[in-house]
Chains A and B, each alone.
Chain A
Amino acid sequence: MMPDDETLLRRIGEAYEAIDPVPGLVRDAARAAFGWRRVDAALAELTADSAEAAPAGIRGQDGPRLLVFTGPEVAVEIEVSGDGTDREIVGRLAPPAPADIAVRHSDGEVAARADRAGHFVVPAVPAGPISLVFQLADASSIVTSWVRL
């Protein structure tokens, strides 16, 4: 007896579930992502990434990576150096303004502060996805797109 389409597709689904299941950690991370929602903050999206632009085979892996995020009225530039689990971020907020910064990552966040020129340094940032939140003096806030370090 040949199974009907529905039965066949269900069996195909079961076969893939056995061959190549979605890891539990991947599902957990997807659910947890909702906790990172910031409706109050203006989004600055990734507009340049030196790791993307570098032509194949030319760029070494040692130089700092430059990333630019652009929002409606702001830009955030960061340089990421270091490797492994500890990376350092040196950055600039434009237009320049002092701000409290939280670098969000998979396991929590690292706090930092931008000076009046908008400059900031964040040591010891873990590898993996990160997003920066800037809390400005006027109580407005800016959040960058998530990027993977």
Chain B
Amino acid sequence: MSSPGELVARARRDDADAWAALVERYTGMLWSIARSYDLTAADSGDVVQTAWLRLVERLHLLRQPESVGAWLAAIAHRESRRALRRRRRERLASIERPAPEPVDYDLKRLLAALPERCRRILRALAQAPPLSYAEVAAALEMPIGSVGPTRQRCLARLREQLADRA
């Protein structure tokens, strides 16, 4: 599989397949970031689209192509905060429900019972293809050194709950 840096290099040479591979790799991450702000589906879609448009316009200016995933994550956080501020300012009570909580089967219910930080990191770690720890760190705005320990702690909590249920 091509590295993110290689995909950026190929996209710079107008390779649409490389762009599609970047979209495949990071759209799920961007979506989960927007949803972690309790944005509606429409606002989350706008955040994701804005992040990709930002990358299109800055593709040839990107200083660290290898870090494109972390760069996109930072844009998604910034745009999510912007969308949140705009909503508050407009004082439009959103009719649409924000991110739905897991409900219907066991694992979903167990996930819903985890602390928010655990839900977010497990969701980031569950992305396919997998994100690098640097990308997970950017997606959660946490130091890279915390990713491993938090992953272990959250998986352990989920396991405890699975064991309790059994």
Is there contact, CB below 8 Å, between B82 and A52? yes
Q: Is B41 an interface residue (CB 8 A)?
A: yes
Contacts from B to A (Cβ < 8 Å): 11, 14, 16, 19-20, 23, 27-28, 31-32, 35, 41, 44-46, 48-50, 52-61, 82, 85-86, 88-91, 99-103, 105, 107-108, 111, 122-123, 125-128, 155, 158-159, 162-163
CB A126 to nearest CB in B, in angstroms, measures 14
Q: Is A13 an interface residue (CB 8 A)?
A: yes
Which of the residues B89, B103, B155 comes within 8 Å of A5, measured between beta carbons? Answer: B155
Is there contact, CB below 8 Å, between B89 and A13? no
Is there contact, CB below 8 Å, between A56 and B89? yes
CB A66 to nearest CB in B, in angstroms, measures 16
Q: Is A137 an interface residue (CB 8 A)?
A: no
Q: Is A139 an interface residue (CB 8 A)?
A: no
30 residue pairs from A and B, CB less than 8 Å apart: A8-B155, A13-B126, A15-B102, A16-B102, A16-B123, A19-B101, A19-B103, A19-B108, A22-B27, A22-B31, A22-B48, A25-B45, A26-B27, A26-B31, A26-B45, A30-B52, A31-B20, A33-B49, A33-B52, A33-B56, A34-B19, A36-B57, A37-B59, A43-B61, A52-B82, A56-B88, A131-B57, A145-B54, A146-B50, A146-B57
Given contacts A12-B122, A13-B126, A23-B41, contact A54 B49 (CB under 8 A): no
CB B140 to nearest CB in A, in angstroms, measures 15
Is there contact, CB below 8 Å, between B52 and A29? yes
